[in-house]
Amino acid sequence: MILAHTAVVASAHVSAALAFFQEPAATVGFSPLQLWSNMSWIPRGIVIILFIMSIWSLAVIIDRALYFSQARAQSREFAPKVAGALKNGNLDEAIKVADRTKKSHLAEVVTSGLQEFRSFGSGGSISETQIESSKRALERSEAIVHSKLKRGLGGLATIGSTAPFIGLLGTVIGILNAFQQIATQKTSGIGAVAGGISEALVTTAFGLVVAIPAVMCFNYFTNKVEAFDVEMDNSSSELVDYFIKQSHR
């Protein structure tokens, strides 16, 4: 009798466990459209927000990649030509070269210094005031170009840092929906919580998909900006040295 009772109890527990895992889950699909249709409105809103953030992030990435590529290419063309013009003492030719490479970060900085230097006139000796004024013009231009180079990177950093938390908010809401379904349906089967869990997984995954490229590209572009800053500093210093040498002739 004891063995028979034990067998009956064990059979009941096994049946209950099988019933938990064999709840009909056919009503919950895992294709993108089915997951979207099973979502409540709050997780849908979170997915829409993440989608908008991904579009914005992609637009910034493409814009910065094109801008930096053109700046690099035109700067390589600009540097030897303006060096040759300055070596010959032809400031007007150096400024014309810069005007033909307007997307070069070096051209924009050097042009400001040359124009300020030329504004004092070409006749007479070069004064200390003329050199200092040109130096200040170079510094102002560097700050402006630095701001242009960093345009959009702040938004990229914000997206990279906040997208996982927005996805996590969807996770929390999905888990809450799962518990609510258990409470309302009076069942503990896996089918009762599959919809809420799927919402949680989708929003979390989408948040990471948006954040990871944004963070990687932000770090890459920030390193590019720092390299460009060094190039502009070097060009400004070389131009000031050129003005000082000219003043001693």
Residue 61 pLDDT more than 90?
Answer: yes
Q: What is the mean pLDDT of residues 95-100?
A: 80
Residue 244 pLDDT more than 80?
Answer: yes
| Percentage of the chain lying above the pLDDT 90 cut | 31
* Cβ contact 209:144 at 8 Å: no
Could you tell me if residue 17 is inside a domain? Answer: no
Could you tell me if residue 16 is inside a domain? Answer: no
The whole domain housing 235 covers 28-247
Higher pLDDT, 127 or 23: 127
* Cβ contact 57:159 at 8 Å: yes
Rounded CA separation 204/12 (Å): 38
Q: Please list, residue by residue across 201-215, b when 16 or more beta carbons sit within 10 angstroms of its beta carbon and e when fewer do.
A: bbbbebbeebbebbb
Q: What is the mean pLDDT of residues 197-207?
A: 78
Could you tell me if residue 7 is inside a domain? Answer: no
Lowest mean pLDDT among 9-13, 57-61, 112-116, 235-239: 9-13
Which pLDDT value is given to residue 214?
94
Could you tell me if residue 228 is inside a domain? Answer: yes
Could you tell me if residue 95 is inside a domain? Answer: yes
Could you tell me if residue 61 is inside a domain? Answer: yes
The model's pTM: 0.76
Question: Which tens digit of pLDDT belongs to each residue from 126-145?
Answer: 778 888 888 999 999 999 99
Which pLDDT value is given to residue 11?
47
Residue 237 pLDDT more than 70?
Answer: yes
Lowest mean pLDDT among 11-20, 178-187, 196-205: 11-20
Which pLDDT value is given to residue 38?
62
Could you tell me if residue 48 is inside a domain? Answer: yes
The mean pLDDT of the chain is 78
Which pLDDT value is given to residue 186?
62
Q: What is the mean pLDDT of residues 147-155?
A: 93
Which pLDDT value is given to residue 124?
57
Could you tell me if residue 20 is inside a domain? Answer: no
Asked whether the CA dihedral 166, 172, 175, 179 is positive or negative, the reply is negative
Cα separations in angstroms, 219 against 154, 197, 211 = 11, 33, 12
Q: How many domains does the chain have?
A: 1
pLDDT tier for residue 146 given thresholds of 50, 70 and 90: very high
Which pLDDT value is given to residue 174?
76
